[in-house]
Structure 1
Amino acid sequence: MSDGFDFSPGAQVPLQGSAGQTAATHALASAAYRDSPVEEILKANSEWHKSEVKKGKVSLFEPNLGEAFSRAVQTRMLGGGRAALIQSFGTEPQSVVEHCLAANHIRKERDTRLTLVTVLFGLLFLPGALLWIGVFQLRRTLAGSKDKKAGAIGGALLLGVGALAVVFLVALPFTGFLGWYLRGVIIAPVIGWLLAKRICETTAKELRECWSGLLAGGGLGAKVPEAVPGHPDETAREGLRHGLEKLTAEQRSNAVFYAGPKGILGMGTRWGNWTLAEELVPKEAGKEIHQFRSYDVIRAMHDQLKMLERGPLNSGGFPKPEVKHWIVRPVDENAGSVSRPEGQDVEAYQVKPHEIQRICNHQQFGAGDRHYLGVQFVLWDGQLIITMMITVTVLHETLRIEVTGHALGPVNPLFFSKPSPKTVTKPKTVRFWETTSHNLPLVEPKEAVRLAVRAPFTWYPPILDFLGGKLSLPEPFGLRHAWADKPWRHRFMADDAMRAATPVLRVAHAAALRVLNENGVDTERFGSRSSSLSGAVQDPTPKKVDVYDA
């Protein structure tokens, strides 16, 4: 089955992390290495996009944030027959996915060692292992209770069972092989737990180094050996490489989706709208207007908008914008999925130029996709995405130029939290008025048990999804917009978004007036209306333009 474009053979994982987009990319990628509770990600839910944590059957099998995030993102973005993805402007989604794969690879190596420990010290001494696991599960259940007394009972229960085990070990009435085996049933799971704790502690330090390295801006590269085929027969690795290439191709698609009040998915809501609509009247009486099309106006705007970075003064000003033709497809506000354009007019998720012109010139009224010319700025190291969208329509004798502003804010601050050591503070023995602090192990006893119990089941993740639960991602899914905040809470980001509107509007109008003049159109009314809008746009106020109060 063809995807519409050809993959060249090779074993290279594409380079990651474009300049100017690393902060948002690394913040999202850091979630793959985190060891906090999975419920933490619910704090990053926005007004429109909400993740869900689906509980499993046994709390001892539940994943932490890094495990659940890596599994969910990898499955959603690389899974076979997956639904279409929303572009992640300002980030490199392939880099995030590669870090999820790298984190899973680190955990897989840990789980291989833990499985060996579990078999030697757990499976061979199964009665004792089941007893200890049952106690830890009961303690975990009681600890999760809102009743503080129940949590204390759980801790006392563990101590009580430990004391009984010691008594039983000393006063065991059996001798011979049975006696030694029963003693092994009691002591072997404890030895296995100590070994498992050391393995988990080493891996926890490695994962935290990756986490802190990403947020420190070190540009840590993801190690994904599974994506590098060694020979043509390695179908799994070749399939993974194919999936990463497909992900990058879809990221470059020129088709986007308008979801009503949610705005253009991936670009944010529409906060401003400026419309110029006037009658097409010949410049000279008795003469006709020279024939032109909407795309002629759009092409002139395109050429001029690419020069936005140039100005009469050496004042810094705009960075180089991305000026691009977009095909916008309407979807329902609560749509659970989207579908990209297909057919002979689409190649590698890109709508071809001749089809773009046809949509621009002819699909201006009624059902169907629409054409927009977009000017996009990626600012604040990928944290702010400003997109000005321009559409030109001609209905009867009226030409309408509409400029709208879209803004996608920074990644939720949750993704920028750095790992902090686990410490305990106690008063000194002699100088009791002074305190001393020391670091605790990263892996608590109950965490080592959880990881050791999960390890043998990691060969088939759906079992863990059933037993422990999983993270459900918001749909239609895109890494960037799913966890984006509004830019209006940040003063400078809000200023940047609103300042971009005025020059874009004026350049678009100037280019349009030039085309109208060249084709014998009287531009007096257009010029007056343009001047009026040029004055109004100097004091823009962000509004919910797509929420119609009717």
Structure 2
Amino acid sequence: MGAAVADDGFDFRPGAQIPLQGGGGQTAATNALASAAYRDGGKDTALSSILGANSENHPASVKPPKISLFEPNLGEAFCRAVEARTLSPGRKPLIQSFGADPQTVVEHCLAASRIRKERDRKLRLIMLVCGVVFLPGLLLWLGLFQLRKTLAKGEGKKSTWIGTALLVGVVLVAAVLLYRVVYRAPGSGVLELYLFGSLVAPALGWFLARRICESTAADLRSRWDGLLGGGGVAAKIPDAVPGNPDEKAREDLRHQLAKLTAEDRSNSVFYAGPKGILGMGTRWGSWQMAEELTPKNEGAEIHPFRSWDVIRAMDAQLRKLERGPLHTGGFPAASIQHWIVTPVGEGAGEVARPTGEDVDTFLVKPHEITRICNEQQFSAGNRHYLGIQYPLWDGQLVITMLVTVTVLYKTLRVDVTAHALGPVHGLFTTKSKAPVIEVPKSVRFWETVERPLPLVDASEVVRLAVRAPLTWYPPLLEYFGGKLVLPEPFGLRHVWAGTMWRHRFMADDALRTVAPVLRAVHAAAFKVLEENGVDTDRFTNRSSIMSGLIQEPAPRRADVYDA
């Protein structure tokens, strides 16, 4: 069943290699996250830039490199971290990515990694022929570039000029020494030719590597811009399409992708204290209606009913919100789901999804949902919430309203809470910038003009060439070059979500959702109460008071209690 669930929109049968995208109207957030996989080339892809996208509750970190020449850029580190976290066997559970399609993001990571592997295969061949064969010269050049890169980290331009001067100076000294060696005894043997080749071959290899790196970087950056521009950039991943039953690696990858989508559609979520419900954003508003259950007619008794009866009526009423009495657009079709909420610690490093005979492919079965709704309302255990969710702004804003009904002794309580997940951080929605330099005009020297620079500079070519021989074993490469450490519990969407309260229209959408949802919930509750002989006067009075209060719903940190 897991594979069947995952195949909705993604056909992994033999021959299908291009996933379908954009079917759920959530392409903006998905494409923004997927574009990070293609961040390559240029100075706008430094790994440290992702630290600026950290959220308050879910910060990522960067493990510094032991040797700076092995340090990955943003695209390389992002792909490696996401693939290892989402596709590794025995991985920890993932948090749902509301408003985005995590499988599409992971597939773009796989596609970008495939492009880089093809580049690295060519670079390894160049390193073997022009580097390993002439090892003394290779070590000399690498030492010079490492020294220059280390000095370039100093403050100001002085350190950069010192590094460049040392590089040029050592090259001149080496050339003079080579000249003396060659012409002291011309044609005397192979040693002189080898020394000459040791200096020339790495430089020739660098020239060939630069052409390969520039073409690959241009390809990756065009995909980066294509995703953010709304173009149909497809992630081609033939490694996930088994050609025959013996291709175990491809079959395992296909199953991991299917598992990823099935888990993302789970109806089990986690409440982490002040961090709110993981994946849905923090709770910014809460409204309660709690009144005593008294018979409508004196001397009569209330007809027995359960919390589930009230919840079912609310479910039916909420599904009518998109059909308003006026032709004004109104609400779009909502996603209405019965959620099972599990409490976890604020600093929990991982979560554990419910398992057992009451769970099927990450989905808690209906009979267990009903039991939890009716019986687990107090003390330890999971809780039931009815949720109505609106992914808006092409997935950049996710509004979720949760409803829970509890009955303790003679008191019926209806809680309505509001959650909002803001847009993806601006880092992920920024297009690539071509490297340029400002130079004065030849005649009008007081004016400047921008001239394009090479997409991949000399240091970047050296970095890629040095990393290429180790890309076949990523753990060793991470040991020398560092890596991106993802926050836990991890979910692709909420980790890099920003606040939506600084965006006027997004904030208005969140605030305007409250009143219609709250009134629909109360109307459904009153209907059930009246059908079962309950006096609804107190409930309607309380609802009228709340109807006045929500005219101006003030956002606040509802998950933080001042106690």
TM-score of the superposition, structure 2-length normalised? 0.95
Within-5 A mapping of 1:476-487: 476-487=489-500
Deviation at 1:3, TM superposition (A): 7.9
Q: Please give the alpha-carbon distance, in whole angstroms, between the structure 1 residues aligned to 2:479 and 2:23.
A: 38
Please name the residue that 2:82 is paired with: 73
Matches within 5 A, 1:151-550: 151-172=160-181, 173=184, 175-550=188-563
**In 2, Cα distance between the equivalents of 1:427 and 1:136?**
29
> How do residues 23-38 of structure 1 correspond to structure 2 at under 5 angstroms?
23-35=28-40, 36-38=45-47
1:105 maps to: 114
- 1:5 CA displacement: 8.6
**C-alpha contact 2:5 2:258 (8 A) present in aligned 1:** no
Amino acid at match of 1:25: T
SS of 2:289's equivalent in the other structure is strand
Q: Which moved more, 1:16-25 or 1:321-330?
A: 16-25
Look up the SS of the partner of 2:501 in the other structure: helix
Structure 1: runs of 5 or more not aligned: none
> By how many angstroms is 1:68 displaced?
0.4
Partners in 2 of 1:149 and 1:198 — Cα distance? 30
- Matched with 1:137 is 146
Rounded Cα–Cα distance in structure 2 between residues aligned with 1:414 and 1:57: 26
For the residue of structure 1 that corresponds to 2:520, the secondary structure is helix
Query: Would the aligned equivalents of 2:21 and 2:27 in 1 still touch at CA under 8 Å?
Result: no
Instruction: Look up the equivalent residue of 1:370 and give its one-letter code.
Output: R
**Aligned-pair distance for 1:80?**
1.2
| Separation of aligned partners in 2, 1:77 and 1:464 | 20
| Amino acid corresponding to residue 94 of structure 1 in structure 2 | Q
The residue number in structure 2 matching 1:10 is 13
SS in structure 2 at match of 1:489: coil
Q: Deviations over 1:190-227 (max 9, x none)?
A: 10011111110110100110000000001311111111
Conserved 8 A contact 1:112-1:455: yes
Amino acid at match of 1:349: F
**Which stretch shows the higher mean deviation, 203-212 or 4-13?**
4-13
Q: Which moved more, 1:14-23 or 1:377-386?
A: 14-23
> SS in structure 2 opposite 1:195?
helix
Counterpart position of 1:22? 27
Shift of 1:18: 2.7
RMSD (CA atoms): 1.6
Task: Write out per-residue CA displacement over residues 268-315 of structure 1, whole angstroms, 9 at most, x where no aligned residue.
Answer: 111111101011111112221111100000000001101110111000
CA distance in 1, matches of 2:293, 2:552: 29
Task: Give, in whole Å, the separation in 2 of the partners of 1:279 and 1:429.
Answer: 86
Deviation at 1:548, TM superposition (A): 0.3
Residues of 1 paired with 2:492 and 2:189: CA distance?
61
Per the TM alignment, residue 530 of structure 1 is displaced from its structure 2 partner at its CA by 1.1
Q: Distance in 2 between matches of 1:342 and 1:521?
A: 38
**Per-residue Cα deviation, 1:52-81 (whole angstroms, up to 9, x for no partner):** 000121110000000000100111011111
Distance in 1 of aligned mates of 2:519 and 2:24: 29
Q: Which amino acid aligns with 1:450?
A: R
2: distance between equivalents of 1:484 and 1:433?
44
* CA distance in 1 between partners of 2:489 and 2:387 (Å): 22
Q: Distance in 1 between matches of 2:234 and 2:319?
A: 33
| Cα distance, 1:427 vs structure 2 | 1.4
AA aligned to 1:24 is: A
Which of 47, 51, 65 matches 2:60?
A: 51
Identity %: 63
Write the distance in 1 (CA, Å) between the matches of 2:538 and 2:142: 80
Give the alignment's TM-score, normalised by structure 1. 0.97
Counterpart Cα distance in 1 of 2:297 and 2:3: 50
Tell me, in whole angstroms, the C-alpha distance in 1 between the residues paired with 2:5 and 2:301. 49
Between the aligned partners of 2:474 and 2:328, the Cα distance in structure 1 is 55
Deviation larger for 350-359 or 483-492: 483-492
- Mapped to 2, the partners of 1:93 and 1:469 lie a distance apart of 25
What do the CA deviations read for 1:218-259 (whole angstroms, capped 9, x no partner)? Answer: 131111111111111111111111110000000000000001
Residues in 1 aligned to 2:389 and 2:452: alpha-carbon distance in whole angstroms? 47
The count of aligned residue pairs is 549
Question: What one-letter code is carried by the residue in structure 2 that aligns with 1:446?
Answer: S
- Change in Cα spacing, 1:7 to 1:408, as seen in structure 2 (3 Å) is closer
Per-residue Cα deviation, 1:473-514 (whole angstroms, up to 9, x for no partner) = 111000110001111111111110010000000000000100
Displacement of 1:16: 3.2
How far apart, CA to CA, are the structure 2 residues paired with 1:218 and 1:372? 38
Corresponding position: 1:115 with 2:120: no
Distance 1:547 1:464, change over 3 A: same
1:423 CA displacement? 1.1
Deviation string 1:439-498 (CA, Å, 9 cap, x unpaired) is 111000010000000001001111110010000011100011000111111111111001
Give the Cα–Cα distance (whole angstroms) in 1 for the partners of residues 436 and 5 of structure 2.
Answer: 53
Contact 2:280-2:419 at 8 Å conserved across structures: yes
| Alpha-carbon distance in structure 2 between the residues aligned to 1:400 and 1:321 | 25
Letter in 2 for 1:111: D
- Report the more deviating stretch, 215-224 or 387-396: 215-224
Asked if 2 retains the 8 angstrom alpha-carbon contact of 1:4 and 1:347, the reply is no
State the alpha-carbon separation in 2 of the partners of residues 266 and 498 from structure 1: 20
In the alignment, which of 51, 61, 65 is matched to residue 42 of structure 1?
A: 51
Q: Does the Cα contact within 8 Å between 1:17 and 1:92 map onto a contact in 2?
A: no
Q: Alpha-carbon deviations, 1:142-188, whole Å to 9, x = none?
A: 11123653332211111112212322333224532111111111111
What's the offset of the Cα at 1:267?
0.5
Tell me the secondary structure at the aligned position of residue 304 of structure 1.
helix
